[in-house]
Structure 1
Amino acid sequence: MTPSAPRSGPSPHLAGLTTLRVGGPAADLVVAETEDALVEAVRGADEAGTPVLVVGGGSNLVVADEGYAGRVVLVRTRGLRAESDLCGGAFVEVAAGEPWDDLVAAAVERGWSGLEALSGIPGTTGATPLQNVGAYGQEVSQTLARVRTWDRRRGAVRTFAAADCGFGYRTSRFKQEPDRFVVLAVTFQLGVGDLGAPVQYAELARALGIEVGRRAPARAVREAVLALRRGKAMVLDAEDHDTWSTGSFFTNPFVDPDRLPEGAPSWPADGDRVKTSAAWLIEHAGFAKGHGDGPARLSSRHTLALTNRGEASTADVLALAREIRDGVLTRFGVELHPEPVLVGCSL
């Protein structure tokens, strides 16, 4: 085996590769530990006409109980390369398989700002551009400089500048064409200094004791975000079933102002619509924290998280998701849409 060759292994259940811990077996599993191996694993499957599912941290996947009848490529590439100066900031190129929170921790430690409010998010760095990961007032698109990809259609490596990535709320060109691009590496342009980026999220500002728009030490921002996320069971813990989830299961919906339910919070959005809170809609449709009496229930600490209490199947999770979606639609006339990628299953 050459150093860059993909490493094949037994075909486990996808439940062991996802944070929700559901999903059936993979027909074929390849572990890619280098960029060349990642490209070869995907290219080889494409040439053979074999379906491919690329998996990073598995934190945004819901896989059918029947499993995946194709090749699962587990991205385990590693590497971080940085160039830094006080004028241009730090340009940091990160391999797709690097754990995201490890990158955020390293950025804070090295005095690079702009990622600190994205602390505690599970998954790998290569997955973050796909849905423009965001939390507590920061989004990946705010600091991303470029994305290097394998274009499966052209059979070539292609690099996209941030302006060409089609970023929007929890979306990108890579999410819109899920079977075309495989992210190989992501480059960020980060500020240099001890202070984090201006805090734009009211809850985080309160936790830091500052006004919205002010700055705080990046280390303090990271610690505050981790504390807030732990309070909502949004930091992975193998012993805590409230964290056996995909994080927020539904995205915040966009609605016309005249369709905004009375009392619902709202924020300006593109065009004439406003964004409202999926969590508020769920709670006010009658679904309290901990709702459910089976192996899949709402988190006891956050109504946006659908959790596996230990023995849930994908069917159990989807049944709960449908109940909540339909309940919100009946009560408010607003349809919720899932945030995670559904593989071999649907609502």
Structure 2
Amino acid sequence: MAAAGGAIYALGLVLAAMISGAAGLNLTLGFLVGLGMTGVTFVVAIGAAMRAVPPERRGLAAGIVTDGGSVGQFLLVPVAPGLITGFGWRESFLIFAALAGAMVLLAIGIAGRPALPQTGSAHVQTYGEALREAAGHSGFWLLNAGFFVCGFHVAFVATHLPAFLGDRGLDPALGARALALVGLFNILGSYVFGMSADRWRKKHVLAGIYLARAVLIALFLAFPVTPLSVTLFACTMGFLWLGTVPLTSGLVGQIFGVRYMSTLFGIVFLSHQLGSLFGAWGAGYAYNATRSYDLAWQISIAIAVLAALLHWPIRGAPVSRLQAA
């Protein structure tokens, strides 16, 4: 799956270099790149990593996998404007397509499904049973709701922060530097929160992350927006950026086991991507309607507080099936 995802991702970028209209943009960067990402994102990589390490180190493993994406963001976001200036946007897409194609080879290192139990009397949970078990667990739906909020925040900031800074009269290049700082500090945050997933109750740490986001955004808006305040915001938001990934995926594995970890976390990640839709498109729609990002920021604060509250009642204990085993 990861190899196929990398190939589709690269194909989407190659075709994007040849587009000449909105329809082509939606087909390439929207559909093909989006489809390719489903095969190479955290869902597949974390699922494989968690099966390869003992339970007491799964949070750290998920944090390190998350760090890989952060390193890419930190290195490539500042490089992209220079590539476009030096070579042109079409050629830049081809360069990034070559990088995406490397994922096909790297996918060799991703493990497959875990081996079936050797004991003939042991019941092997089926795919349908795993879905029904998760659907009947309230914590699974609370994790979906919380990850929706995470997706909203990530997409809103990544998509609209440069435009927001431009509205405030700041250099648009500051937005690119801010997103690079987000990626840099996310490397530290993902590692720290990955370790915390192995030491503390994951739902409490998740609640703390969302509450910290609400406080951070409120403080960012309460003071004048300056290069210094943007830098502080980017560093702190970066630390909180994807720290939710090792914790959320860790809870899924802890509650339901790792055999169908990628499937169940994939459903939760779908909720994250739906949140991303509203964070990117919804915030843009709100801006066009009000000529301001104030409403989008206010919604970001409100749903962050809501997410913190939703994680508190999650039952993190393994399901009875795992306890019996």
Provide TM-score, normalisation by structure 2.
0.29
Greater strand content: 1
Greater helix content: 2
Higher RCO structure (Cα 8 Å, ≥6 apart) = 2
